[in-house]
Amino acid sequence: MTALAFHQVGVRYGDRAALVDFSLELAPGEVVALIGETGSGKSSAALAALGLLPDGARIEGQIVRSGRVAMVFQEPLLALDPLMRVGRQVAEAVRAPRAQARARAAQALIDVGLDPARVARRYPHELSGGQRQRVGIAMALAGEPAVLVADEPTTALDPDTTAQVIALLVAAARNRGMALLLVTHDLALARCHADRLVLLDAGRVVETGRLPAALTLPRTATLLAQIDHVPQRGPLSPDRQPVLTVRGLVHGYDGRRVLDGIEFDIHAGEIVGLIGPSGEGKSTLLRLVLGLETPQAGTVTIAGHDMHKVHGAQLRDARRHVQAVFQDPGASLDPHWRVGRIVAEPLGLWPGSLSRQATHAKVCDALARVGLDGDAAGRYPGAFSGGQRQRIALARALVVEPALIVLDEATSALDAAVRADMLDLLAGLGDSGIALLFVTHDQAMIAGLADRVLHLSDGRV
């Protein structure tokens, strides 16, 4: 019996072929990992399985489903309704009377490690990135699908939670007879949990086989080597000055203290990693550093400015010195704006006014620094891959020449090859004198990039 089958499926967006003669069959209870570089066609295959290809896409071939198909999306902030409470969203996936649907929704939240009493009545923006992704997984499992398509389901999760969630998905596949198509750039994850591996390149299957034997195939072995890439760093200047100073930072929500007396410095050109389990306050700390929230106690000083005491022109100058690159580039880039306008937006913080020619020159320079040509300025974000969109977000941060860039899981959604390039780019920014505060769950990656690592737990470093 086959749970999901692709028979010579092709997907085209205009003149571009995203998927070519793609054939794959999944049996009930089987876990198949679909891997490949950004733009290889993985997401097109996943969306085709659910009939969710965007308007204008042309599909050929045949897709056969034996029952309900559910999906866990890569970017949870885009997949969840921001105006609907979490418990109601999960219950919507259950075809049952209201009381029964609520009970099954509560159990689904428990299954993915969330306390319904704490999260069911909250909105998605009140949860961390990892918690939002677990809500998405709970929604998918609550409907008891025959096939689950998981598109980068652990991108936003810390290592412990990643292990728990993947174990849950695999157990659900085995115990329920649910086929699991795991779309991922994390080859290490696929190696540990999948039965088979399918490698895509330019929309075509280039290697496939059962694990672990498939790991010795040439292209797959190359991907394994890229996972362990360590960027080269120059020596730090001994007389570098502090760019960020955090002292006695305290903050919390609903009577619960999230941060308790946080103190640290970051110097010019220094790359500092910030790690810790989901829900331990990393995102809260970032919002305080960026001046998006006001701490209950303590100070955040950037380039000599107290972020929470300055006003007017001083506040604009302080904001110019700290910029951010967020976890989900699809959520942080306006899809209706051209890239040039997106990258130029922070120039409103620039002292004085800039001519149109000067603005264009700064935009082109910022795009060049992240490896994109000037033609990118005239296109929309949807015309770029996930890795390219993250470069656009980085160009937007660089355009005002900040002293500090805060990165929230900025490489978590990238495949091994693109991530290696991005790490080299970030290392070069550090060598140029820009300080980086890098929030991540990937401890192996940050150990190879950062000068220091701060571990956040129970509100303390």
pLDDT in tens, 316-367: 888 889 999 987 777 789 999 999 999 999 988 887 778 889 999 999 999 9
What residue ranges do the domains of the chain occupy? 4-227, 242-455
User: Which residue from 459, 337, 340 is spatially nearest to 395, judged by alpha carbons?
Assistant: 340
Backbone conformation region of residue 400, classed left if phi is above 0, alpha if psi is from -120 to 50, else beta: alpha
pLDDT at 195 over 70: yes
pLDDT in tens, 216-229: 999 888 887 777 78
Note the pTM of the prediction, 2 decimals.
0.71
pLDDT at 128 over 90: no
- Please report, for residues 21, 25, 61, 406, 460, the alpha-carbon distance to residue 131 in angstroms, rounded to integers and kept in the order given: 37, 32, 37, 21, 20
Query: Partners of 147 in the beta sheet?
Result: 69, 179
Residue 453, classified by CB atoms within 10 Å of its CB into exposed (0-12), middle (13-18) or buried (19+), is middle
Question: Which pLDDT belongs to residue 122?
Answer: 93
Question: Which pLDDT belongs to residue 58?
Answer: 92
pLDDT at 158 over 80: no
Nearest-angstrom CA–CA distance, 92 and 288: 34
pLDDT at 98 over 90: no
The domain defined by 4-227 folds into Rossmann fold (3.40.50)
Mean pLDDT throughout 109-117? 89
Per DSSP, the residues of 25-79 read EE-TT-EEEEEESTTSSHHHHHHHHHT-PPTTEEEEEEEEESS-EEEE-S-HHHH
Q: Is the four-CA dihedral 142, 147, 149, 153 of positive or negative sign?
A: positive
How many alpha carbons lie under 13 Å from residue 410 in its C-beta half-sphere? Answer: 29
Q: Which of 36-40, 177-181, 453-457 has the lowest mean pLDDT?
A: 36-40
Question: Which pLDDT belongs to residue 413?
Answer: 67
pLDDT band at 172 (very low <50, low <70, confident <90, very high): confident
pLDDT at 178 over 90: yes
Phi, psi of 348 (to 5 degrees): -65, -20
Question: Which pLDDT belongs to residue 221?
Answer: 86
Question: Which pLDDT belongs to residue 428?
Answer: 92
pLDDT at 164 over 90: no
Residue found under tokens 């970051």: 266
Mean pLDDT throughout 427-450? 90
Question: Which pLDDT belongs to residue 5?
Answer: 95
Nearest-angstrom CA–CA distance, 186 and 35: 8
Query: Partners of 460 in the beta sheet?
Result: 457
pLDDT band at 63 (very low <50, low <70, confident <90, very high): very high
pLDDT band at 443 (very low <50, low <70, confident <90, very high): confident
Peptide bond into 212 cis (omega under 30): yes
Nearest-angstrom CA–CA distance, 219 and 203: 15
Nearest-angstrom CA–CA distance, 218 and 103: 48
Question: Which pLDDT belongs to residue 227?
Answer: 75
Largest CA distance in the chain: 68
Give the H or E element holding residue 151.
strand 147-151
Question: Which pLDDT belongs to residue 410?
Answer: 82
Kindly state the tokens that stand for 268.
Answer: 């010019």
CB atoms within 10 A of CB 226: 16
Residue 292, classified by CB atoms within 10 Å of its CB into exposed (0-12), middle (13-18) or buried (19+), is exposed
CB atoms within 10 A of CB 38: 21
The domain defined by 242-455 folds into Rossmann fold (3.40.50)
Domains 4-227 and 242-455 in one fold: yes
pLDDT at 156 over 70: no
pLDDT band at 268 (very low <50, low <70, confident <90, very high): very high
Nearest-angstrom CA–CA distance, 45 and 391: 24
User: Which residue from 265, 263, 259 is spatially nearest to 248, judged by alpha carbons?
Assistant: 263
Q: Which segments of 321-453 does DSSP mark as H helices, in order?
A: 329-332, 339-344, 356-369, 386-398, 416-431, 443-449
pLDDT in tens, 329-339: 777 899 999 99
Nearest-angstrom CA–CA distance, 378 and 388: 14
No. of helices (H) and no. of strands (E), the chain? 17, 18
More confident residue, 181 or 314: 181
Question: Which pLDDT belongs to residue 445?
Answer: 84
The mean pLDDT of the chain is: 88
DSSP secondary structure letter of residue 445: H
